[in-house]
Amino acid sequence: MRPIWKLLGWTVVTALAGLYLVLLATGPRGLPALRQKQQLIAEKRRQLAELTRDIERRRERVRLLRHNPEELDLRIRERLKLRKPGTADLFYPDAPAAGAPKRP
């Protein structure tokens, strides 16, 4: 009789372990959640790379403006729409948005 109980015990333990693995894989903290977290991590890494590129562009622009006073003066005059006495500067309006209606 002893081997039957032993076999039955191992069968129950194996069935419970299998059930636990199935619930672990398909439950709310299982593989779908893991996949979702991996997608979130990938998206955050893309955002980080984009922000890093933006920071580098801005640093380069600041470096250019610090070392080139003429460029700085030009950018200030463009932004504030100012001009130097005795000069004729042309400032064009910004381009209309892609979906904006055209003026006649």
Average pLDDT, the chain: 84
Instruction: Specify the pLDDT at position 99.
Output: 61
Residue 51 in this model has a pLDDT that exceeds 90: yes
Q: How many domains is the chain partitioned into structurally?
A: 1
Whole domain around residue 61: which residue ranges? 12-80
Residue 28 in this model has a pLDDT that exceeds 90: no
In a domain, 2, yes or no: no
For range 21-47, the mean pLDDT: 88
In a domain, 90, yes or no: no
Query: What whole-number percentage of the chain has pLDDT above 90?
Result: 34
Instruction: Tell me the pTM.
Output: 0.53
In a domain, 91, yes or no: no
In a domain, 53, yes or no: yes
Residue 33 in this model has a pLDDT that exceeds 90: no
| Cα–Cα distances in angstroms (integers) from residue 76 to residues 25, 65, 71, 85, in the given order | 60, 10, 9, 15
Q: Contact at 8 Å (CB) between 81 and 75?
A: no
